[in-house]
Amino acid sequence: MAKIVIATDKPFAAVAVKGIREVAETAGFELALLEKYTEKAQLLEAVTDADAVIIRSDKIDAEVFAAAKQLKIVVRAGAGYDNVDLEAATAHNVCVMNTPGQNSNAVAELVFGMLVFGARNFFNGTSGIELKGKRLGILAYGNVGRNVARIAKGFGMEVYAYDAFFPAEAIEKEGVKAVKSAADLFKTCQIISLHIPATAETKGSINFELLNFLPKGGIVINTARKEVIDESALAKALSERPDLKYLTDIRPDIHADLTANYPDRYFSTPKKTGAQTAEANINAGIAAAEQIVDFLKNGNERFRVN
């Protein structure tokens, strides 16, 4: 009987584990659970006889692949998979998947929670701004970006987007104005929401030049990845442009400095919160289990990322 291991340092909600168990057991697989582990050795031990592993932000490196002799598939329940060493996975002939789209609405709703908080001066009682009629620039029109666009329309915002790969015509079809570059987006929109993945190309790509293009009163919201922003450029922009605000769900390395220097223009969630909803948890966990069953039984490699 094939064995699926859920290895989550930060556990799924109990109801998600129940759903995963149902999917696994209905398909005739065994399910084992490793939660809140404190030592890597526990992870190495848990994967020794696993055919499949479901993870969240857990780090799966070459050592884990070497320890997991029977492993055929790892599914990251979530969108970003930069916590998995894809080269090592491929070298060990292991398929890696993510579960795109399952937590997108959760992240998009958080964008607006943070945006209203920022637009209203962190609820300090002073006069803020409204979102209605403002231009919102969505950098990367993927699963999260698309949900942000949907909600932004409800706020009466003018929605713009740039995506390096998703065609402009398809963006325009959804009632969103497509621009030709990230620079155009920053020049056009007072509010920018970042949804690019962390890749060799995007790391540090939000630089001083881009930030300085922002119209007066610019707000940048980052629910994507810490690495996409050049932190020294961010510090410089906040220092030279007292009108700018930066709101993030991923704490930068310079968090302490920014908090001390710009308490009314910089905000970070205490812990990454974007995907932390019961719905996203359940959706992503169950999708991961279903993808594993479909892969092990039928060889379906949809959502493979390596």
Ligand X SMILES: NC(=O)c1ccc[n+]([C@@H]2O[C@H](COP(=O)([O-])OP(=O)(O)OC[C@H]3O[C@@H](n4cnc5c(N)ncnc54)[C@H](O)[C@@H]3O)[C@@H](O)[C@H]2O)c1
Stretch binding ligand X (CB under 6 A), from 36-44, 62-70, 72-80, 257-265: 72-80
Token pair 């999708």: residue: 287
**Burial status of residue 112 (CB atoms within 10 A of its CB: 0-12, 13-18, 19 or more):** buried
Nearer to ligand X, 24 or 143 (CB): 143
Nearer to ligand X, 24 or 107 (CB): 107
For every residue of 215-245, DSSP letters joined together read PTT-EEEE-S-GGGB-HHHHHHHHHH-TT-E
**Binds ligand X by CB under 6 A, chosen from 6, 53, 60, 144:** 144
Bridge pairing between strands 219-222 and 191-194: parallel
Tell me which residues in 272-301 interact with ligand X (CB under 6 A): 272, 274-275
* Token digits of residue 174: 């959804």
**Binds ligand X by CB under 6 A, chosen from 51, 58, 85, 163:** 163
| Least distance (Å) between residue 20 CB and ligand X | 19
Q: Residue 37 interacts with ligand X (CB under 6 A)?
A: no
Helices (H) and strands (E) in the chain, counts: 12, 12
Neighbour count for residue 109 (Cβ, 10 Å) = 16
Q: Residue 247 interacts with ligand X (CB under 6 A)?
A: no
Stretch binding ligand X (CB under 6 A), from 60-68, 219-227, 233-241, 297-305: 219-227
Closest CA to 188 of 199, 179, 200, 201: 179
Amino acid type, 114: M
Q: Residue 248 interacts with ligand X (CB under 6 A)?
A: no
Cβ partners under 8 Å of residue 206, min gap 6 = 194, 220, 222, 228, 229, 230, 233, 234
The 92-131 contact track toward ligand X, x by CB under 6 A, reads --------x--xx--x------------------------
* Token digits of residue 106: 């959760």
Three-class DSSP category at 100: coil
| Least distance (Å) between residue 285 CB and ligand X | 14
| Least distance (Å) between residue 254 CB and ligand X | 19
Q: Residue 58 interacts with ligand X (CB under 6 A)?
A: no
- Contact residues: ligand X, CB under 6 A: 78-80, 100, 103-104, 107, 140-145, 163-166, 195-199, 201-202, 223-225, 249, 272, 274-275
